[in-house]
Amino acid sequence: MNKTAYYKIMIKTVVILIIILYMVFLYIDLFNTRYIHLSERIKYTCIILCFFIALLSRNNPFDRYNMKLLQLGLLLTVIADFFLLILDDYYPIGVTIFTLAQITYSIRYDTKNTKNTIKNYIVVFMILFFIYAFVNMSIRIELLVPISLCYGTCLITNVHKAITVFKKNLYPKLNARMVALGMILFLLCDINVLLYNILKYTNQTEGIMYIISSFSMWLYYLPSQVLLALSGYNYDK
């Protein structure tokens, strides 16, 4: 068995394992919430496995630089989820690291305009934090708010870029589909995160929308990470 075939089998095995774990934690979240801490550990294990898929794929990428950016984005995701999911604290740090992951993906989806991408984000971030500093002089606002706005800006930008990658065939066809669908699912996840936190902040935790948003976050999030993790592999070869 050659190296490429070996890594291909390994990737398939990891994907199957993630699917099994996905079913397990969704079941726990729906029917056995007393094991929620176990569910969180399983979820984090799945995120690590997604990063592992990208590491396995480096033997056969459709583009090596693209693969390195993908690996960096997934590594930052692993770190961010450690703060948000395992520690369940340090939210500004976690969201900041997620923002760095999104910036990495922005560069990945438009490598020819890396400098402009970074410059544009710097300008947007400076404007957002200037507004935050100005408003914060009269109304106390948590630091997490402008950081989340920065993250949201990056995410929406990346959804647009990912769709552009698909429409303009900038990647091989299957990879482009994975990127576009992965980023759309990522957005759906974070829409539910936003809804969940709004309902939690306003003490509306008894309604069906709170339950749906809580469940839907990971319903969308893990598939998005699996698709992104697989999006760097050279399937044509």
- What digits encode the pLDDT tens for the residues 113-124? 999 999 999 999
CA distance 237 to 233: 9
Q: Looking at the predicted structure, is the pLDDT value of residue 177 above 90?
A: yes
**CA dihedral defined by 193, 197, 198, 199, rounded to 10 degrees?**
100
pTM of the model: 0.94
Q: Looking at the predicted structure, is the pLDDT value of residue 1 above 70?
A: no
CA distance 128 to 151: 11
Percent of the chain exceeding pLDDT 90 equals 84
Q: Looking at the predicted structure, is the pLDDT value of residue 215 above 80?
A: yes
- What is the structure's pLDDT at 236? 85
- What is the structure's pLDDT at 202? 86
Q: Is the distance from CB of 216 to CB of 199 less than 8 angstroms?
A: no
Percent of the chain exceeding pLDDT 70 equals 99
| Mean pLDDT, rounded, for 215-220 | 96
| Mean pLDDT, rounded, for 175-197 | 97
| Mean pLDDT, rounded, for 170-198 | 96
pLDDT in tens, 20-61: 999 999 999 999 888 989 999 999 999 999 999 999 999 899
Q: Looking at the predicted structure, is the pLDDT value of residue 87 above 80?
A: yes
| Mean pLDDT, rounded, for 216-227 | 97
More confident residue, 163 or 1: 163
100-113 burial, b for 16+ CB within 10 Å, e for fewer?
Answer: bbbbbbbbbbbeee
Q: Looking at the predicted structure, is the pLDDT value of residue 85 above 70?
A: yes
pLDDT in tens, 137-156: 888 889 999 999 999 999 99
- What is the structure's pLDDT at 81? 97
What does the mean pLDDT of the chain come to? 95
CB-based contacts of 54, cutoff 8 Å, min separation 6: 67, 70, 71, 74, 229, 232
